[in-house]
Structure 1
Amino acid sequence: MTQEFIYNAFVVETEKTGGNPAHIYLDADDLSEDDMKALAEKSEYKDVVFVRKPTIARAHYKLDYYMAGERTLISGHPTIAAFACMHDKLNLEEGAYSIELMNGRVVYVAYKEGKVYLEQEHPVYEEPAMADIMAIMDATGVTLADLIPNHMPMLVSATNKSMVVGVKTMDKLKAISPNFDKLKNISDELEVIGFIFYTPEVVNEGSDFSTRVFAPAVGVDEDSASGTLAGALACYIYDLQESEQDTFAIEQGYLMDPPQPSFVKVYMETESRKFLGPRVGGQAREA
Structure 2
Amino acid sequence: MPWPDVTVVDACVRGDGRGGSPTAVTDDDPAATDADRRAVAPAAGASHAAFLGPRRTPHGGLPVRFFTATAELSGCGHGTVAAQAVRLTRTTLDELHDRQLTGGRTFDTTAIRRPAGIEVWFDQGLVALRHPAPDERAAIVAALGLTADDPHPTDAPRIAAPGAPRMLVPVHDRSALFRLRPDLGTLTAACRRYGLLGCFVYVPPTGGRPGAARMFAPAIGVDEDVANANSTGCLAAHLLDTSGAQTLEIEVEQGDVLGRPASVLASARRGPTGITTRVGGLAVVRAGH
Classify the TM-score, shorter chain. Answer: 0.7 to 0.9
What is the aligned partner in structure 2 of residue 52 from structure 1?
Answer: 53
Secondary structure of the 1:156 match is: strand
- Find the aligned partners of 2:155 and 2:31 in 1 and give their Cα distance: 44
- Find the aligned partners of 2:175 and 2:241 in 1 and give their Cα distance: 27
The one of 3, 7, 10 aligned to 2:9? 7
What is the aligned partner in structure 2 of residue 236 from structure 1?
Answer: 238
**What do the CA deviations read for 1:129-180 (whole angstroms, capped 9, x no partner)?**
2233222232222135421223111111113211011111111112211000
Q: Is the 8 A contact 1:98 1:107 kept in 2?
A: yes
The count of corresponding residues between Structure 1 and Structure 2 is 276
* Structure 1: gaps (5+ residues): none
Q: Is the 8 A contact 1:121 1:159 kept in 2?
A: no
**What do the CA deviations read for 1:191-230 (whole angstroms, capped 9, x no partner)?**
111111111478xx95421111111111111111001111
Relative to structure 1, is the Cα distance of residues 267 and 187 closer, same or farther in structure 2, using a 3 angstrom cutoff? same
How do residues 85-124 of structure 1 correspond to structure 2 at under 5 angstroms? 85-101=86-102, 103=104, 105-112=105-112, 114-124=118-128
- Find the aligned partners of 1:210 and 1:218 in 2 and give their Cα distance: 22
Relative to structure 1, is the Cα distance of residues 93 and 35 closer, same or farther in structure 2, using a 3 angstrom cutoff? farther
What is the aligned partner in structure 2 of residue 265 from structure 1?
Answer: 265
Q: Which runs of 4+ in 1 moved over 6 A?
A: none
Percent identity reads 23
Range with greater deviation from structure 2 (119-128 or 108-117): 108-117
- Find the aligned partners of 1:238 and 1:91 in 2 and give their Cα distance: 38
**1:83 to partner: Cα distance:** 1.2
The residue type paired with residue 178 of structure 1 is P
* Structure 2: gaps (5+ residues): none
The one of 157, 161, 168 aligned to 1:157? 161
What is the aligned partner in structure 2 of residue 282 from structure 1?
Answer: 281
Relative to structure 1, is the Cα distance of residues 90 and 244 closer, same or farther in structure 2, using a 3 angstrom cutoff? same
**What do the CA deviations read for 1:68-105 (whole angstroms, capped 9, x no partner)?**
253333211111111111222333541431112364x3
**What do the CA deviations read for 1:226-278 (whole angstroms, capped 9, x no partner)?**
0111111111111124357611011001123xx1100000012455x875411
Range with greater deviation from structure 2 (180-189 or 147-156): 147-156
Secondary structure of the 1:146 match is: coil
How do residues 10-29 of structure 1 correspond to structure 2 at under 5 angstroms? 10-16=12-18, 18-26=19-27, 28=28
Relative to structure 1, is the Cα distance of residues 280 and 177 closer, same or farther in structure 2, using a 3 angstrom cutoff? same
The residue type paired with residue 265 of structure 1 is L
The residue type paired with residue 187 of structure 1 is C
What is the aligned partner in structure 2 of residue 132 from structure 1?
Answer: 136
Q: TM-score, normalised by structure 1?
A: 0.86
How do residues 174-193 of structure 1 correspond to structure 2 at under 5 angstroms? 174-193=178-197
Q: Is the 8 A contact 1:169 1:201 kept in 2?
A: no
Range with greater deviation from structure 2 (166-175 or 31-40): 31-40
